[in-house]
Amino acid sequence: MIVIKNSIKEGGKKNILVKVKNLTKIYGRGELAFKALEGINLEISTGDFAAVVGPSGSGKTTLLNMIGALDKPTLGEIIIDGIETSKVKESKLYNVRREKVGFIFQTYYLIPTLTTLQNILVPTFPFASRKENYLSRARELLDKVGLQGKEHRKPSQLSGGEQQRVAIARALILNPLLILADEPTGNLDTKTGMGIIELMRNLNQKEGKTFLIVTHDQRITKFCQKVIHLEDGKIL
Ligand SMILES: Nc1ncnc2c1ncn2[C@@H]1O[C@H](COP(=O)(O)OP(=O)(O)OP(=O)(O)O)[C@@H](O)[C@H]1O
Ligand SMILES: [Mg+2]
């Protein structure tokens, strides 16, 4: 079941950013083969704040990984911003991922030896030779996520909520079209989690960033135009 609220904005057609067509993902082969997703069809429009919900093992992370081009489907198509990722060579997939998608994870995945500012800049390292001024953008993002004055701290000197803010700024540094978040509030207490939700909502509402969020948190799903329910690898 896909619950769609306000999916058509007044007077306008929405731009389809992600289209998933008949996606099936099978892990392993032969007797060990396991169908993690089967026959998934969905669309995410530019500006959506959308959620994926479902029990543990239902395929939520698998779906996010496929949409984020971290892994390839066994069958079916995924089209992001007009690019069919299953047709892109492995060596070029990296570029699609970098340019189109930002990731946020439950456990942040910051590099412990790097400072806040350096962690935010990590996705830009392959493009260090470009003329763009990533440092000034990183500083702007630092302010936007509320980490002013903490740019030289290491992750171990930050709270969980602050570490997630670093991860959000890192996800935004290359200005991706889509932010994929896997349980972004899963490791945070209620109040800190609320701060992260407000930050994501702000980015969606004020800057039009598109979000697809795997979550159990009803404080997130209540804001979502689309809630995709997965069970045993299928959309309910
Ligand atoms: N690399 C893999 N190889 C084999 N099976 C896998 C692999 N990754 C995931 N699976 C299986 O695919 C199914 C879906 O996994 P997935 O991680 O997508 O679930 P999930 O909905 O994100 O669960 P959770 O809420 O616990 O994070 C599970 O049964 C899991 O065991
Ligand atoms: Mg998961």
The per-residue pLDDT string of the chain (236 residues; one tens digit each, 9 = 90 and over) reads: 454 444 444 445 679 999 999 999 999 999 999 999 999 999 999 999 999 999 999 999 999 999 999 988 999 999 999 999 988 888 888 888 888 999 999 999 999 999 999 999 999 988 777 767 899 999 999 999 999 999 999 999 999 999 999 999 999 999 999 999 999 999 999 999 999 999 999 999 999 999 999 999 999 999 998 999 999 999 99
- Rg value, the chain, Cα: 18
Query: What pTM did the predictor assign?
Result: 0.92
- In the chain the domains, ranked by start, together with CATH numbers, are 2-13+45-71+86-235 (3.40.50.300)
Which ligand 1 atom minimizes the distance to the CA of 34?
Answer: 5
Ligand 1 residue neighbourhood (C-beta within 6 Å): 27-28, 34, 36, 54, 56-62
Gap from CA of 97 to ligand 2 centroid (Å): 19
Token readout for 106 is 């439950």
Which ligand 1 atom minimizes the distance to the CA of 32?
Answer: 4
Gap from CA of 71 to ligand 2 centroid (Å): 14
Gap from CA of 64 to ligand 2 centroid (Å): 9
Which ligand 1 atom minimizes the distance to the CA of 37?
Answer: 14
Gap from CA of 188 to ligand 2 centroid (Å): 16
